[in-house]
Structure 1
Amino acid sequence: MADVLRDLLDGRWAEVRRGSLELLGKLEPAGELGREEYRAWVLEQMRALAAGGHPLIGFPAEHGGRDDVGGSVVAFEVLGFGDLSLMVKAGVQWGLFGGAVQALGTREHHELLPAIMSMDLPGCFAMTESGHGSDVQNLRTTATYDVEAQEFVVHTPDASARKDYIGSAARDGRMAVVFAQLVTGGTSHGVHAVLVPIRDSSGAPMPGVRIEDCGPKAGLNGVDNGRLWFDGVRVPRSALLDRYGSVSADGEYSSPIEGAGRRFFTMLGTLVRGRISVAGGAGSATKKALTIAIRYGSTRRQFTRPDSGDEVVVLDYLAHQRRLLPALATSYALHFAQEELVSALHDVADDRAQRELESRAAGVKAVSTWHATATIQACREACGGAGYLGENLVAGLKADTDVFTTFEGDNTVLLQLVAKGLLTSYRDHVGDLDPWGMARFVADQVVDVVIERTAARAIIDRLVSGSSDALLDRGWQVRQFEDRERHVLEGLARRLRRATPENAFDVFNTAQDHVLHAARAHVDRVVLEAFVAAVDRCPDPEVSALLDTVCDLYALSTIEADRAWFLEHGRLTAARSKSLTQAVNQLCAGLRPHARRLVDVFGVPEGWLAAPIIG
């Protein structure tokens, strides 16, 4: 059973995943180090990864890579089982810095890729500013073209425009991809990326470049985050990463994409791999925490049974199962959603597929990283005081993953992007409804609700009459997710129809809770469908039956978590809501004997599970 389950989890990139696990297994944890020693250790491990071929996977074959974009994300995910500072540093170097050069540059810039892959050219990705985080389109750093010198002048106009939280800037980076407003002839052409050397070969800051260390952080202290200021720094015209916008010698701007807005979102869309990678890395860290907590819970004993006098293993307590097993089920669901997302990234073929990919990546990243934060905290508590000790690893995972909810996109903003995409699709499907159209729409909605409630009532009636599998009806579960998504989105669309040019901001602002709920309902449905598809393609009946139970737990615990909505909208009665809770309890009890197996197949290398509490 374990081999079949492992094969299913390893999926399309099984060979890459296993090769990356083997490489990670050759590295050893850092142990207790001071900050500067830790940063030096991370840099040393980066060179070991480079020597082992880790960065080659996703880069072009013509420059020594393997042209496997999906494989590069899977390899990055695997690093999440190890040291998370190392994972993030690798993401900065080969995902963000190297990825930007590859995606936004042209042939001349691509000549830098071998040095980037080998770590001969350590770099950083300078997008975020102190005053503008998520609002990238309004960054204030400028890159102004000087016609006479044929150079760009990169400048930080004020304190809020400093580049902030930049990984590898404080210590190791020698070159930065700097995002700035491109100005030629007094006209701004929007945000573009420029290559700017920030240190010379001796490690000293380049003229006009000011560098400051961000200092100690809550976690990830092996990553040298820094701040950058540019005081009229000059770089040659060729420093512009010009795939989507170029400047001629005489200062004329041109682009293959019309419109500054469309050009901006096209450029950012090419960098979606970073967002998908963060979701995968968060998933790996969560799996590691669950592995520790469930293995500990399978051996830790607490209190005695009155009938036998034996001490009880804590994972036998329902309360402990409730902490960990629904989270484990969600990790399985997100694993399969991540696999679909990586395949979509690898296979993306046109603009429509790219837009869908960007929206799905935003949603999965938000849900995966919030899940990591909540689950790792639950694992810390499930391990008691031992979970608070650094030697048992969970506290470090908690500190290191906390920032995942806000880097590569603040999760709240990302879910708003998801909702915007849903509303655009809804508008394209429904159109601008006239009064007659709205009347028909409302009538159809009433009919749909009656149908859904009737179907739900029929299934619950079977439960009340003795059919215990009613809530485990997969069709009912999927309908609940679909119905919630549709109903919430339709209600949001009606609210936003009230907007006029004069009150648009206020209308949207007062509906933000509704916006986020619509996006979350959509992502939950996408994740459930990915899990159902994985169960359907499982070749082994025994494994399929186990996964079916895990999928039931994901579906019902998700409905339970939002049962206020299902109760308020008549999808559940109070009595039926209690039946739902009882079903989740029964599923937890049913999965208890399989918990250790379900985490062991994640394949976290034992060398990276050196927590005394699990032996």
Structure 2
Amino acid sequence: MTVERVNAIGPAALQRVLDGRWAAVRDDVRAQMGGIRLHPDPDLGTSEHRDLVADWMRRLAESRRPHTGFDPAYGGEGDVGGVVTAFQMLGYGDLSLLVKAGVQWGLFGGAVQVLGTSRHHDKYLKQIMDGDLPGCFAMTETGHGSDVQNLGTTATYDPATEEFEIHTPDAAARKDYIGNAARDGRMAVVFAQLITGGASHGVHALLVPIRSEEGSALPGVTISDCGRKAGLNGVDNGRLIFDRVRVPREALLNRYAEVAPDGTYTSPIENETRRFFTMLGTLVRGRISVAGGAGSATQKALAIAIRYGETRRQFSDPATGEEVVVLDYLAHQRKLLPALATTYALHFAQEELVSAMHAVQAFGAEPDEAAQRTLETKAAGIKAVGTWHATATIQACREACGGAGYLAENLLPQLKADTDVFTTFEGDNTVLLQLVAKGLLSEYGARVKKLGPLGMARFVGEQVAGSVVERTGAPAMIGQVRHRDLLDRGYHRALLVDREDHLLAALARRLRKALTPGADQFGIFNAAQDHLLRAARAHVDRIVFDAFAAAVERTGDAAVKRLLDQVCHLYALSVIESERAWFVEHGRFTAARSRAVTTAVNELCAALRPHARALVDGFGIPEDWLACPLLGTDMLVRG
């Protein structure tokens, strides 16, 4: 194995590749917002921070950038992918702005757009786009977060008045952590159990006014403030309680269900569970936006830490007597460069995800249920892995900057605080990976059912052979791969695919017992949760790798392609190294091969060290959004 030395590449060439399909959108955001210092004073109080973010929201609305994601028939541009990319760019600045904008135009406005019909669009969309109607997305309850299907809030229809009565029956049904609720929101999309004629039809969404234009809570609505949070204090998270609040029949967002004046309920989707998941699936944009915001925050942290690592000196080189910049130490490279490679991989996976969403949710496009399900599964997996990666990487960057990284003025503590909640909002990551695994199992079962007698016999034989390898440690695969070059991308993919396939097949075998009559289905499923999560993670690792490899292949600049190829190698080998125990335990690696993987990662870190600055500058983060004392000469003290 020989790591090729690549000539220096300018960051502009990298940026052209990273900016991708929506490069013009990224440039517009840099031009429109990049000159604004989106760094609140660390000593700013909650009220002042909210005022500042509200002012930025007005500027954002005036830029008309949020309009681009809405229906052209109502003054939008129909560019769903473009607006998500624009919001993602805000993650380089203040994440409170990103989240508040996401609530207003992504969640609130997006729900009205995709769950409502013309009667809602005609009345509200322009006000929402212009920022004149601030709104909330009231789904989460104190007692139910991930389990949306069992929310407690009710919407009971009264045919005598042709109204719905919105009610919070107990403390657990209180709407909690709702962005825009504590101060600014005047209307909420409220998710509630829809009841007509004494029968429940499951969770539906209704538009419910919560404040007057003067800012007072409307009758029957109790609003309270969640108070100071660990981060994102520019967002006014609040709690909502409804005491038999009346709204007209037309308040129901009725794309997927309608209630007639006499209370008759109809829906184009008869099955309640399928209807529920179809409604939620249309809201996948929020989850994708969170993944993108986490990616931007991670890129910003790496840009700060790597720039600092190129100038901060510690300890003398005995040969020269000069102090060494910390990024020249292997331990420092190990801390930052594999994380940088993974960040690149996730960036390209996010780009693919946004493109898929843009195609599935294009205005006027024919509904494609299979594509929508695939999008939801991919979005859940990338959001989970991407936000966990953000948490781990921002922490590593903070440590890499020592005491300076702990100072609020140097931005990293705020990035840590603001992104921490990303792992649990828009879907708890553990639950999301379970959803990914369940989707994979469904696809796996469908594939198996399609096999003919010969295919089934071959399939069973492969399963038995896999089980023998797992029990005996027989080196079934070692002979096939022992001499493959560790820098062979095809080899990387073969290993990742093999791990994914093996884990999924073994999981299916474990869960098959739940299908037998009288089986303890919960107990069997619960006992296999660790396996479930590993299988889902293996799948996400593989699709992220595929996205990165595809990006490398479509890169036209030969020099940039060579550099990205090495970054892709580092990503793949970092994943493989982190799973060395699995590859050894399952007969895929010898101990020597396992050690060789670590050597390869070390050599790739050394080879990429000269390109580290260009790789982070290639993100194209506006300099005003990176400015901090840590990156100025006044902080470069010795010792």
Structure 2 distance, partners of 1:531, 1:205, is 49
Matches within 5 A, 1:90-101: 90-101=101-112
Aligned twin of 1:521: 538
Note the alpha carbon deviations across 1:210-257, whole angstroms, 9 max, x for none.
011001111001100001000000001111101101101111011111
Q: In the alignment, is residue 419 of structure 1 matched against residue 437 of structure 2?
A: yes
Query: Greater RCO between the two (CA within 8 Å, min separation 6)?
Result: 2
Cα deviation, residue 438, structure 1: 7.3
Structure 1 distance, partners of 2:115, 2:480, is 55
Structure 2 distance, partners of 1:280, 1:474, is 26
- Give SS of 1:303's match: strand
Q: 1:150 aligns with which of 157, 162, 166?
A: 162
Aligned twin of 2:72: 61
Amino acid at match of 1:547: L
Aligned twin of 1:19: 28
Alignment size in residue pairs: 607
Structure 2 distance, partners of 1:557, 1:446, is 30
Structure 2 distance, partners of 1:564, 1:447, is 20
Amino acid at match of 1:110: H
Q: In the alignment, is residue 577 of structure 1 matched against residue 599 of structure 2?
A: no
Amino acid at match of 1:496: L
Cα deviation, residue 61, structure 1: 1.1
Structure 2 distance, partners of 1:365, 1:392, is 27
In structure 2, the CA distance between the partners of 1:437 and 1:459, relative to structure 1 (3 Å rule), is closer
Amino acid at match of 1:197: P
Note the alpha carbon deviations across 1:512-546, whole angstroms, 9 max, x for none.
00000000000000000001000001111111100
Aligned twin of 1:303: 315
Cα deviation, residue 447, structure 1: 5.8
Amino acid at match of 2:247: V
Matches within 5 A, 1:119-198: 119-198=131-210
Q: 1:598 aligns with which of 596, 615, 621?
A: 615
Cα deviation, residue 588, structure 1: 0.3
Cα deviation, residue 460, structure 1: 3.2
Aligned twin of 1:394: 412
Aligned twin of 1:532: 549
8 A contact 2:96–2:235 mirrored in 1: yes
Matches within 5 A, 1:59-458: 59-111=70-122, 112-348=124-360, 350-431=368-449, 440-445=458-463, 456-458=478-480
Cα deviation, residue 351, structure 1: 0.7
Amino acid at match of 2:220: G
8 A contact 1:165–1:227 mirrored in 2: yes
Structure 2 distance, partners of 1:461, 1:282, is 38
Q: In the alignment, is residue 8 of structure 1 matched against residue 17 of structure 2?
A: yes
- Give SS of 2:69's match: coil
Cα deviation, residue 4, structure 1: 2.8
Aligned twin of 2:487: 472
Structure 2 distance, partners of 1:435, 1:343, is 39
Amino acid at match of 1:31: D
8 A contact 2:167–2:243 mirrored in 1: yes
Structure 1 distance, partners of 2:93, 2:14, is 22
Q: 2:571 aligns with which of 529, 554, 574?
A: 554
Structure 1 distance, partners of 2:480, 2:345, is 27
Structure 2 distance, partners of 1:345, 1:432, is 29
Note the alpha carbon deviations across 1:102-152, whole angstroms, 9 max, x for none.
000000111201111111100000000010000000001000001111110
Cα deviation, residue 28, structure 1: 2.1
Structure 2 distance, partners of 1:454, 1:491, is 17
Structure 1 distance, partners of 2:476, 2:208, is 63
Aligned twin of 1:492: 507
Q: In the alignment, is residue 52 of structure 1 matched against residue 63 of structure 2?
A: yes
- Give SS of 1:497's match: helix
Cα deviation, residue 27, structure 1: 2.2
Structure 2 distance, partners of 1:46, 1:54, is 11
8 A contact 1:456–1:476 mirrored in 2: no
Between stretches 404-413 and 20-29, larger displacement belongs to 20-29
8 A contact 1:27–1:45 mirrored in 2: no
Structure 1 distance, partners of 2:479, 2:310, is 39
Cα deviation, residue 6, structure 1: 1.2
- Give SS of 2:230's match: coil
With normalisation by structure 2, the TM-score equals: 0.93
Gaps in structure 1 of 5+ consecutive residues:
463-469
Structure 1 distance, partners of 2:479, 2:28, is 50
Note the alpha carbon deviations across 1:453-480, whole angstroms, 9 max, x for none.
6665454346xxxxxxx10111110000
8 A contact 2:137–2:178 mirrored in 1: yes
8 A contact 2:91–2:296 mirrored in 1: yes
8 A contact 2:478–2:587 mirrored in 1: no
Structure 1 distance, partners of 2:23, 2:344, is 16
Between the aligned residues of both structures, percent identity stands at 68
Structure 2 distance, partners of 1:334, 1:458, is 30
Aligned twin of 1:482: 497
Structure 2 distance, partners of 1:162, 1:261, is 23
Amino acid at match of 1:86: L
Aligned twin of 1:466: none
Structure 2 distance, partners of 1:352, 1:523, is 19
Amino acid at match of 2:380: A
- Give SS of 2:486's match: helix
- Give SS of 1:206's match: coil
- Give SS of 1:498's match: helix
Amino acid at match of 1:329: A
Gaps in structure 2 of 5+ consecutive residues:
1-8, 361-366, 633-639
Cα deviation, residue 434, structure 1: 12
Aligned twin of 2:523: 506
Cα deviation, residue 441, structure 1: 2.9
